[in-house]
Amino acid sequence: MSTLPTGVLVLVVGPSGVGKDTLIEGARKALEGDGRFSFVRRLVTRPADAGFEDHVSLEAAEFAAAAAAGRFALSWRAHGLDYALPIGVDTDLALGRVVIANISRHAVGAALARYPRCRIVEISAEISLRAERLARRGREDRDQIAARLAREGAILPEGVAPLVIDNSSSAAAGIAAFAMALRAIAGE
Ligand SMILES: Nc1ncnc2c1ncn2[C@@H]1O[C@H](COP(=O)(O)OP(=O)(O)O)[C@@H](O)[C@H]1O
Ligand SMILES: O=P(O)(O)OC[C@H]1O[C@H](OP(=O)(O)OP(=O)(O)O)[C@H](O)[C@@H]1O
């Protein structure tokens, strides 16, 4: 009897402004055409925002209906918004792919409970850099940026050791390190 391939879900976590979306988008471009990887497009109750993360934008009622219909692989709430990964994640994992998703630090426990083959990649950068970056990004107002900087992370479940990628220097360096980590995970 042959066993089905099982992929790996890469959970990209870290505080706001650290560069998660930048590294994910950069790695997506660097690895374009390599069928081993699948980059998840999240569903968020935030209006579509050109120039930022390319997410699927849902109204709150649409989000609730999709959740009730079982269309999400994982969902969580943060910053007054609802976020989800689509159920297509399950198909990509069944096909043996390395699936990359940006999730809340508070959703790691639930992700691990559902998907035992997870790797946690934590992106890091000092708070002063994050503050500058969020101001430059300009997606949130001053109060929202202050709340994001003050937001507490979650303690990772016991025994879970994240791979930490420092994004304190250039975005190009952070992207190269992240893409290299993904290639290593795919080769394991
Ligand atoms: N290494 C870096 N150096 C300078 N600016 C960066 C770097 N990484 C990301 N940025 C910028 O910082 C801002 C926040 O990055 P983003 O990827 O949106 O972070 P996150 O998704 O973790 O909140 C964006 O404007 C992005 O262009
Ligand atoms: O619980 P936390 O680990 O703090 O994360 C909360 C949420 O914020 C981030 O998304 P979002 O794109 O809204 O924010 P960001 O790009 O500023 O991190 C992250 O991907 C989570 O969905």
For the chain, give me the number of helices (H) and strands (E)? 7, 9
The answer as to whether 124 is a domain residue is yes
Q: Is the pLDDT of residue 6 over 60?
A: yes
Q: Is any atom of ligand 1 closer than 6 Å to the C-beta of 136?
A: yes
Q: Report which of 108, 137, 101 is spatially closest to residue 23, judged by C-alpha positions.
A: 101
Using CA atoms, how far apart are residues 18 and 4, in angstroms rounded to an integer? Answer: 36
Q: Is the pLDDT of residue 50 over 70?
A: no
What secondary structure, in 3-state letters, does 86-119 show? ECHHHHHHHCCCEEEEECCHHHHHHHHHHCCCEE
Q: Is the pLDDT of residue 3 over 90?
A: no
Q: Is the pLDDT of residue 52 over 80?
A: no
Q: Is the pLDDT of residue 4 over 70?
A: no
Reduced to 3 states, what is the DSSP secondary structure of residue 25? helix
Using CA atoms, how far apart are residues 152 and 90, in angstroms rounded to an integer? Answer: 29
Q: Is the pLDDT of residue 34 over 80?
A: yes
Q: Which residues form the domain of 53?
A: 8-187
Q: Which atom of ligand 2 is nearest to the CA of 18?
A: 18
Using CA atoms, how far apart are residues 179 and 159, in angstroms rounded to an integer? Answer: 25
Reported as a single tens digit per residue, the pLDDT across 97-144 is: 999 999 999 999 999 999 989 999 999 999 999 999 999 999 999 999
Confidence grade of residue 39 (pLDDT, cut at 50, 70, 90) = very high
User: The domain spanning residue 18 has which CATH number?
Assistant: 3.40.50.300
The answer as to whether 100 is a domain residue is yes
- Half-sphere exposure at residue 159, Cβ-oriented, CA atoms within 13 angstroms: 4
Average pLDDT of the chain is: 94
Q: Is the pLDDT of residue 88 over 60?
A: yes
Cα-atom radius of gyration of the chain, to the nearest Å?
16
Q: Which amino acid is at 70?
A: G
Taking CA atoms only, the protein residue closest to ligand 2 atom 16 is 16
Confidence grade of residue 180 (pLDDT, cut at 50, 70, 90) = very high
- For the beta carbon of residue 138, count every other beta carbon within 10 angstroms: 10
Q: What is the pLDDT of residue 67?
A: 97
The answer as to whether 119 is a domain residue is yes
The answer as to whether 1 is a domain residue is no
Reported as a single tens digit per residue, the pLDDT across 15-32 is: 999 999 999 999 999 999
The answer as to whether 2 is a domain residue is no
Confidence grade of residue 1 (pLDDT, cut at 50, 70, 90) = low
Instruction: State which of 12, 23, 103, 133 you would mutate to test the pocket of ligand 1, scoring each by most atoms of that ligand within 8 A of its C-beta.
Output: 133
What is the share, in percent, of the chain residues with pLDDT greater than 70? 96
For the purposes of burial, counting CB atoms within 10 Å of the CB of 78, is it exposed (0-12), middle (13-18) or buried (19 or more)?
middle
**Which residues fall in the annotated binding site for ATP?**
14-21
Instruction: State which of 58, 83, 151 you would mutate to test the pocket of ligand 2, scoring each by most atoms of that ligand within 8 A of its C-beta.
Output: 83
The answer as to whether 40 is a domain residue is yes
Q: What is the pLDDT of residue 137?
A: 94
The answer as to whether 114 is a domain residue is yes
The answer as to whether 3 is a domain residue is no
Instruction: State the total domains in the chain.
Output: 1
> What distance lies between CA 70 and its chain's CA centroid?
20
- Please report which ligand is nearest the Cα atom of 125: 1
**ipTM metric:** 0.97
**Which residues fall in the annotated binding site?**
14-21
Q: Is the pLDDT of residue 2 over 70?
A: no
